[in-house]
Copies of this chain bind each other. A is one copy, B any other.
Amino acid sequence: MTVTTREQCAALDREDPLRGLRDEFELPKGVIYLDGNSLGARPRSAAARAAQVVTEEWGVGLIRSWNTAGWFQLPQRLGDKIAPLVGAKPGEVVVTDTTSINLFKVLAAALRVQAARDPARKVIVSERSNFPTDLYIAQGLADLLQQGYELRLVDAPEQIGAALGADTAVLMVTEVNYRTGHLLDMRAVTAQAHEKGALAVWDLCHSAGALPIDLHAAGADYAIGCTYKYLNGGPGSPAFVWVAPALREQFWQPLSGWWGHEAPFAMAPGYRPAQGVQRYMCGTQPITSMALVECGLDIFARTDMQALRAKSLALTDLFIALVESRCARHPLTLVTPRDHARRGSQVSIEHPQGFAVMAALIERGVIGDYREPRILRFGFTPLYVGFADVWDAVEVLRDVLDGETWKDARFQARSAVT
């Protein structure tokens, strides 16, 4: 069906079986929020949960809440709720620290495994367009080790296979590219890595909660990801980490803090890693921020990733079609793949004045974000974005472009934008 009216979009919303989930979120009036791929919207339940943690658990329970409010169990309880969203089993995922820190842990672990198998493997293969912090962390680790590790960066996903070789220790890639929205085939790419004897580390930041992931079926070795984007965990909420069972008991990691210890309260001077997922932990976690992650995760329990993926693709299909039909006379270039199998849950579009166009959109209440160079990025969270939202967003985009309002000086000034 070709959609040509807002009424058709409203009808799609009425027929949407996921429509009710939107009521689980608080969204400000006058805003169409297309930046859930950067910071997910707030679950309605988060306000009461925050009050409970601060007033009751901290204020009244005080130190006792480590036991009575389940703070000790929280990282693993949340991990168990993420597990079904990424194709992991209970007890395999833990929520802790940041994505960057968790990447450091699993990279160090992977390099240690490879050093024991074949010390000549000194290369970490990745994409030049990978999320920068991933590359920085690999650089930091290589620099720290001073053992000749190096990063080999490819310029396009199809070059990954050729970059892997007998010298490769680790392939480190992000399933959905933050800038282009390009989706890698996790199973095929992992197979390429394994074929060359490399371990595969997957960053799920832009895919967890956005599309179905099956870490076990893909044969992945390590995965890390973020809870504050599509999982709606709150600003800067802690990240998660998963390690394949086959590698778990040899999962040594250097950030060996008390919470990863086998017996943290024995207060022994020597480190002994805990069994299982707890050994991926390090220091004391930010409980208030972490507790709010559960509000987002509990919404996923009311649906499934297949239904969310179907709606996500329908939303991004519609957005692409409407932009191409209604903004045809403007210099917009689609960056995100049209192929469903290669598309995440965002649409990236290049415009020569992308920064100013996005600033003008945000002023009009259409919140996407801008990424260097020239990219307008629109994220579609199927839990709370509807089809009429897509129509309205494209109408505002058309208006901004037609009216050239983005040429106003106030939209030219750069400031920090995530």
Interface, chain A (partner B; CB < 8 A): 26, 28, 31, 33, 35, 38-39, 41-42, 46-47, 50-51, 53-55, 57-60, 62-67, 71-72, 97-101, 104, 108, 128-130, 132-133, 135-137, 139-141, 143-147, 153, 179, 226, 228, 234-239, 252-258, 260-261, 264-271, 282-290, 292, 362, 367, 369, 371-372, 415-418
Decide: B143 and A254 in contact? CB cutoff 8 A.
yes
Distance (whole angstroms) from the CB of A71 to the closest CB of chain B? 7
Distance (whole angstroms) from the CB of A378 to the closest CB of chain B? 12
Q: A47-B55, A98-B97 are in contact. Are A31 and B292 (CB under 8 A)?
A: no
Decide: A415 and B284 in contact? CB cutoff 8 A.
no
Decide: B283 and A286 in contact? CB cutoff 8 A.
no
Distance (whole angstroms) from the CB of A394 to the closest CB of chain B? 20
Decide: A28 and B59 in contact? CB cutoff 8 A.
yes
Q: Which residues of chain B are near A147, meaning CB under 8 Å?
A: 146
Q: How many copies does the complex hold?
A: 2
Q: A38-B63, A54-B46, A265-B416 are in contact. Are A288 and B235 (CB under 8 A)?
A: yes
Decide: A235 and B287 in contact? CB cutoff 8 A.
yes
Q: Which residues of chain B are near A292, meaning CB under 8 Å?
A: 54, 288
Decide: B35 and A62 in contact? CB cutoff 8 A.
yes
Q: A51-B51, A258-B133, A289-B289 are in contact. Are A144 and B144 (CB under 8 A)?
A: yes
Q: Which residue on chain B has the smallest CB distance to residue A49?
A: B54
A283 to B270, CA, bound (A): 28
Decide: B42 and A266 in contact? CB cutoff 8 A.
no
A130 to B267, CA, bound (A): 10
Distance (whole angstroms) from the CB of A202 to the closest CB of chain B? 17
Q: Which residues of chain B are near A290, meaning CB under 8 Å?
A: 236, 286, 289
A30 to B101, CA, bound (A): 41
Q: Which residues of chain B are near A228, meaning CB under 8 Å?
A: 284
Q: Which residues of chain B are near A97, meaning CB under 8 Å?
A: 97-98, 101, 283
The 19 listed contacts between A and B (C-beta, < 8 Å) are A50-B53, A58-B234, A97-B97, A100-B283, A100-B284, A101-B255, A101-B257, A108-B144, A129-B269, A132-B267, A136-B260, A139-B256, A139-B270, A140-B254, A143-B254, A226-B284, A236-B287, A236-B290, A265-B417
Q: Which residue on chain B has the smallest CB distance to residue A42?
A: B59
A286 to B234, CA, bound (A): 8
Decide: A64 and B283 in contact? CB cutoff 8 A.
no
A168 to B146, CA, bound (A): 21
Decide: A287 and B289 in contact? CB cutoff 8 A.
yes
Q: Which residues of chain B are near A254, meaning CB under 8 Å?
A: 104, 140-141, 143-144
A146 to B72, CA, bound (A): 33
